Amino acid sequence: MERLHGGLGQLYADTDRALLTNGLGALTSPCSLTNLSPLTNTPSRVEVLFSRIIPFDFKAVGDSSWHEMTKNYVENAVERRQSPRESKATAISQAFTMELEEEGSPVKIQFRYAGKRVVDNHRQVVVLSGQSQLLEAFGAVVSGVHFQEKHWLVLSEFSPGVTMVKVCMSMFVHFDCELPNRQQFVDRTCQMLAKQKQMGFESVLQGVEQSLLAGYPS
């Protein structure tokens, strides 16, 4: 997570590499794709990719997206040489536990995130890096399931007053535990995490569209 506070050039290079590697770089139309590699002996990989076209100015979409992504965050740290107000506009750090329901059973996940937003005249980039662990799933307390994830949200001007949104979410899930029916558990967990990530960003984009239609930001 410390790399998020590195140089701007490196952040842009990592972002471009992520989009090109997953085929999002050249896309100019909406899409949605989920890739799962549920493995039992090595870290499983979960990827969620999608793009959207939003008929609003990309700067307004960027401000609203950042607001939606950070409105429930409590700022834990500020960058050097920045006031808390300035830092809130560009960086976040947060730890929290989320409880939800999947297939009628409770799921509990502990998240730790750091995030950075970079704005220039041509595009906006939001990068989130996380280290999290699964605490409860499918009716049982779970230990030894943890994951590293990185998310890219890239906003660019598709045409005047129209924004192209591209999202790349990549996660490596480690199953350091002994389980009966291990492959079944790995499959279900990867599917559940992919669904949770996709729904999370879909919710953000829905909030963005609703707030812009309602006149936010002013």
Residue 218 lies in a domain: no
User: What's the CA gap between 156 and 75, in Å, rounded?
Assistant: 27
Phi, psi of 52 (to 5 degrees): -140, 155
- In which band, very low, low, confident or very high, does the pLDDT at 37 lie, cut at 50, 70 and 90? confident
Please report, as a single letter, which amino acid is at residue 189. T
Q: Which domain holds residue 115?
A: 2-213
Q: What's this model's pTM, rounded to 2 decimal places? A: 0.78
Residue 207 lies in a domain: yes
Contacts of 167 (CB under 8 A, 6+ apart): 48, 49, 50, 51, 151, 152, 153, 154, 201
Residue 99 lies in a domain: yes
Residue 18 lies in a domain: yes
* Structure confidence by residue, pLDDT tens digits, 133-184: 999 998 889 999 999 998 888 898 888 999 989 888 889 999 998 877 888 8
Phi, psi of 173 (to 5 degrees): -110, 125
Q: Evaluate if residue 93 carries a pLDDT over 90.
A: no
- In which band, very low, low, confident or very high, does the pLDDT at 4 lie, cut at 50, 70 and 90? very low
Residue 179 lies in a domain: yes
Residue 206 lies in a domain: yes
Contacts of 74 (CB under 8 A, 6+ apart): 94
Number of structural domains the chain divides into: 1
CATH number of the domain residue 54 falls in: 3.30.530.20
Q: What percent of the chain has pLDDT over 90?
A: 24
Residue 218: CB atoms within 10 A of its CB come to: 4
Residue 101 lies in a domain: yes
